[in-house]
Chains A and B, each alone.
Chain A
Amino acid sequence: MAAGAGALAAAPGEVAQGVQELAEVVSARPVGAYTHLVLRAPEAARRARPGQFVACGTGDSGMLLRRSLSLHAADPEAGTLEVVVAAAGPGTRLLAAKRPGDTVSTTAPLGRPFPLPAPGTPAVVIGGGYGAAPLPWLAGQLVATGSRVVGIVGAASADRLLGTSAVDEATALDGVADAVVITTDDGSLGAPGRVTDALPEVLHELAELGEPVVYACGPMPMLRAVHTTTREALGDGASTWLAVEESMACGVGVCMTCVLPVAAVDDDGVTRTRMLRACTAGPVFDGDALRWDAIGAAEHLRGGALVPDDAVGAPKATGGH
């Protein structure tokens, strides 16, 4: 586990108690390539914190499983949750097509939120594509406790960006974070390259104010690169908190499909790896706890994770599960 975790004022949050609400769509508008939805879910709005997610039903579509979307914001007074939907398949297309007055079955807030560092700790918030959704909310909380916050948002191309005023003011980090860096793989906006190309310089700058903590949300290869780059820049003790996008059937911890190999120190002081549910143990993980040697290790599985041989209860050479 990260030695840098000692710098954090709060341990990762307790397991969330979600609530089911039939949420009315208050507003729906396009934001770049995505759709921003405001959902009336008063009880969830009262409980939610940055890094948590909402599991959305697709009604009578015949698709049984919920779509888990990270929360962009929650307004306890208005009783609303906000999400940014990327229409990636039939389920998310259906959600992205929602209009004001429609309803969405919601279970929220789910998962553990981003842990906040000691007041004043400098921070970087990094988002890939729609992964930037929770960053303005998180950045606002960090700034409010005296952190200097730099945002880095990136995407393959300008049309897939989120979190910058170049795409949309209301969902942007601009004006919340102290500075925002934009990268695109094809150079169509901001600096050409990846978010991690911009990261070392940002980290070295912030390090003059104190040991920075890094938050990131996006696809697994990006999270891996953020973890690696941060350690290269700041050393092995650097803190990274990574929100994963594992595919989930339930979001509430009962289906066991969204597991990842995660190392943790047990009560007896021994570090052991277990297949932990991203929905209840995550979606925010300590970057040092994720078993990168097993995540994404089988290319044909497109982002899946293997069970490390040393994991608790791993299959023996002769058998398999």
Chain B
Amino acid sequence: MSTAIMDLPNTSVDLSTSIGSLHLPAPTMTASGCAAAGAELAPYLDLSELGAVVTKSVMRQARSGRATPRMAETPSGMLNSIGLQGPGVESFAAHDLPVLEAAGARVVASIAGGDPEEFGELAARLARESAVGALEVNISCPNVANRGLVFACDPGASRAVLEAVSEAVRASGRPDLPVLAKLSPDVTDLVAVARACTDGGATGLTAINTTLGMVVDPVTLRPQLAGVTGGTSGPAIRPIAVRCVWQLTAAKRAGVLPDVPVVGAGGVASGADALQLIAVGACAVQVGTATFADPSAPVRVARELGAELARRGATRLADVVGIAHEPGRGLR
């Protein structure tokens, strides 16, 4: 924990990766909602050393988010119930994006909307910003008052959102802008939702968002969070993330899903954690809740991952992606 990141040298392992047209010199990103606008982490890490900064989800209008308490700690995890607080897309473009660009960060802009039209509008608006290197479509935020709005719980709704986004991207003059669909683990058939997203035009997948949870205050015997339910995150949900990335990758290998990049997210706090997600098929990982305890974590995890791979004699990250699916393929 909190080893000074300077103590972890970069290794000679090639950690570069790609999400479609977005080349990443390092395979770790922040996770949406865990790094605010990104600039908040600048005192603790070099934003340009990250694979990418994934922004807090941007919406059309400013949004206050929910009442407090917004947080509850759980064993090896936490619940959050923020409610997509943010300044709106124009403020994001005017104030937050230039700071990230000046810092040399690659930016994945997370977008969220109340309907497919809002998602499409946001995609069109942000595709105009050259500093945006990819879009992540947050169809899976659990912290909305109307659970019917969790698009990722329904294949048809997921497809409709991704169609609106990909149509806007195609019309934007940047048709190769990568579009990641961020999936929820709270579904019966993850592959069916993922397939709906790629049918709708997603060119990549992020798995997973938080999983819906709840804590009761032991004194009041009422829900502890003002929003009643919240998204569970942290190492407690890592096995769920590993399972989901495994299922998506297995579906790709079986030809059920197109061969799109999968970004792993869920409880990654160390290089060894990241390696699990990579072994089951993630070509990059996001570091979320770990950032709350260690704001240098997204860079530290990449360096630890390099050391993990070097120790196993691997020279390229790409050689290890999905290795868990191939019993015959091994490292020393």
Contacts and interface: CB of A to CB of B under 8 A. Distances in A.
Interface of A: 17-20, 22, 57, 59-60, 62-66, 91, 105, 107, 246-247, 249-250, 252-260, 274-275, 280, 298, 300-307, 311-315, 319-321
Nearest to B295: A252
Contact of B219 (A65, A91, A302, A319): A302
Contact of A311 (B44, B64, B80): B64
B82 A256 contact: yes
B272 to A, nearest CB: 14
Nearest to A250: B292
Contacts of A321: 63-66, 83-85, 143-145, 227
B35 A315 contact: no
Contacts of A246: 68
Given A257-B71, A259-B65, A59 B44 contact: no
Interface string B130-148: 0000000000000111100
A64 B293 CA distance: 6
A319 B145 contact: yes
B181 interface: no
Given A64-B293, A65-B292, A301-B226, A254 B40 contact: yes
A259 B85 contact: yes
A39 B218 CA distance: 33
A315 to B, nearest CB: 7
Given A259-B68, A300-B220, 6 more contacts: A22-B2, A249-B71, A257-B71, A306-B226, A307-B67, A313-B62
Q: Which of A253, A298, A305 has the most CB of B within 10 A?
A: A253
B84 to A, nearest CB: 6
Nearest to B66: A321
Interface of B: 1-4, 33-36, 40-41, 43-44, 56, 61-71, 73, 75-78, 80, 82-86, 88, 143-146, 217, 219-220, 222, 226-227, 234-235, 289-296
B268 to A, nearest CB: 12
B73 A64 contact: yes
B80 A249 contact: yes
A257 B64 contact: no
A59 B290 CA distance: 13
A19 to B, nearest CB: 7
A64 B67 contact: no
Nearest to B71: A257
B73 A252 contact: no
26 contacts: A20-B295, A57-B2, A62-B75, A64-B78, A65-B73, A66-B292, A247-B69, A249-B73, A252-B44, A254-B291, A256-B33, A257-B71, A259-B85, A274-B64, A275-B85, A280-B40, A298-B226, A300-B220, A306-B226, A312-B64, A313-B85, A315-B64, A321-B64, A321-B65, A321-B66, A321-B83
A238 B40 CA distance: 33
A308 B145 CA distance: 17
A313 B63 contact: yes
Nearest to B33: A256
Contacts of A254: 34-36, 40-41, 291-292, 295
Contact of A313 (B34, B64, B77, B145): B64
Contacts of A258: 68
A64 B295 contact: no
Contacts of B77: 64
- The 9 residue pairs across chains A and B that have the minimum distance between CB atoms: A320-B145, A321-B83, A257-B71, A313-B62, A105-B2, A250-B292, A313-B63, A253-B40, A304-B68
B34 A304 contact: no
A88 to B, nearest CB: 13
Nearest to A261: B64
B40 A275 contact: no
Nearest to B220: A300
Contact of B43 (A18, A250, A302): A18
Contacts of A320: 145-146
Contacts of A19: 43
Contacts of A18: 43-44, 295
B52 to A, nearest CB: 16
B220 A302 contact: yes
Nearest to B291: A254
Contacts of B41: 252, 254
Nearest to A311: B64
Contacts of A304: 67-69, 226
Contact of B235 (A64, A91, A311): A64
Contacts of B295: 18, 20, 107, 250, 252, 254
A275 B64 CA distance: 6
A303 B217 CA distance: 13
Contacts of A303: 69
A319 B146 contact: yes
Contacts of B144: 321
A314 B63 CA distance: 6
Contacts of B80: 249, 255, 257
A249 B33 CA distance: 13
A35 B56 CA distance: 38
A66 B216 CA distance: 21
Nearest to B2: A105
Nearest to A252: B295
A17 B45 CA distance: 12
B293 A259 contact: no
A20 B234 CA distance: 21
Contacts of B146: 319-320
B288 to A, nearest CB: 10
A319 B149 CA distance: 11
A175 B61 CA distance: 54
Contacts of A249: 71, 73, 78, 80, 292
Contacts of B64: 274-275, 307, 311-315, 321
Given A249-B80, A301-B67, A315-B145, A64 B289 contact: yes
Contacts of A91: 73
